[in-house]
Structure 1
Amino acid sequence: MSAGKKVWLIGNSSEKSQKTLTKLSKMLQAEKFILDDLNPEIVISVGGDGTLLRAMHMYEYQLERVRFVGVHTGHLGFYTDFVESELPKVVEALKNENPAEAVHYPLMKVVVRFDDGYQVERHVLNESTIRRASKTMVCDVKISGSLFETFRGDGLSISTPTGSTAYNKSIGGAVMHPRVEAMQMAEVASLNNIVYRTLGAPMIVAKKDTITVCPAKEDDYSLTFDQLTFEYKNLKSIEFSLDGTTIAFANCAHTSFWERVRNSFIGEVK
């Protein structure tokens, strides 16, 4: 039932998204939903996949109790189940939504360690990438603590199964189903010649393992957590793992993963 259920809406800056957000907000309040930005049970993203990612990071430290729903206001989004013309369906689905039936996708934990002992911990839904700002990046890549290779190239992208369809796919990575408990590391323009050698292919790394990138001592590294970008100096290592943390999507006519892939990249099959 909707009575007392706490929701919050996050939209992008487009006029269509803002109008959709306002309309949906009024419809939800008419059905006795409570608008609560501090302690929501359900966060509704109105916009595109970028808006959903932003919403996830806004509530990154409340993921154990927050569920997400996506409403797309452009073309069909990968993380969205509804378009702006389906707002009555959104309200009805949320009224009947059962928290126990939420659909969970794995997140990847990223631990950034610095030379002075300070560290930053984040979770990502799609991927994390590391690059140098101007020159070739050199780093050691370790798998569960053992040196695997010394990478030279433009950068590395480490993605979740759901993130495999994002930047990872554009640089030649494989598409992975979210039920595959693994990470994927893909190279960005690696150097492979008689002097420098890397694997030269995407790697699927099991849940039990960690990927640790130890960059050379430079002061112009760029590190992303999904769409968030940070510039770092004095990096010691970046460790990637699957620690069991997930994002929950409210099961409101939830679209299956392979249907999302087909809709996003292939379209109607004749």
Structure 2
Amino acid sequence: MIIDTHCHLASSQFDQSRRETYVQHALQANTDRMITLGARPDDWEMNIAWARQFPGVVFCALGIHPDDAHEAPEGWTDRLFQIAQDIPLAAIGETGLDYFHVPPPGWEQENFRRLQQNMLEQHFDLAARLGLNIVLHTRDRKGSASFEDALAIARNYAGRVRPVFHCFIGNAAQATRIFDELDGMVSFTGVATFKNASAVAETASWCPENHIMLETDSPYLSPEPLRGRMNEPAHLIHTARFIAAARGMNLEDLAHVTTRNAETFYNLGKV
């Protein structure tokens, strides 16, 4: 059995009246647990509802995506802290830095990036207060500025908050810095299976086994051979098979390794 460590079950692309169907699909495809990520305050309650409906199967992590930093309501950290007293969270996030998209209307690039950085620091502060780890998104149009800036912020919390760089598409040198400087994790999506993403598959093939996890990022990024279709947790098995083959492992061994890592990182035995 494998764990989908990052999906967005509150997305409007999921038919909320078919929740049990999606969970059954996942279980039938050997994905026995999944972590749904809240990325905006207005989807937090929906993600919580999934976790309450499927205890022990669906867990949730909550945060604010960097693209929505300008829409964060006042007092959002206090609200999230209080939520964490009511329902155990698996982590804080999804949060991070996104330098790929153009800033929203009325914002200059430098100012919006500074806003994202300040918000990321607030997420780290909150994670430290709650004793949780953090889920990071970094994306650049070119270069690696978002990665470098996120790494610098994360370094200030090393030893207190471990990050996972989700949907990792970086190179081996970047992954090594995550492991060595932060004791961090990387998680791989269906991108690793894409024919034009051989570098991602190469990175997944050598990562130390105690630093790797799997995710769908559904409803996005369906793996081959399902690319172009809406993704869901049941599709994680295709990514798992691909990465197991790339690492020269059998599927059962990769499932054991990544499950152990996810249970530890997300405190699933305590949630």
TM-score by length of 1: 0.25
Report which of the two has the higher share of helix.
Answer: 2
TM-score by length of 2: 0.25
Mark the structure with the bigger radius of gyration. 1
Report which of the two has the higher share of strand.
Answer: 1
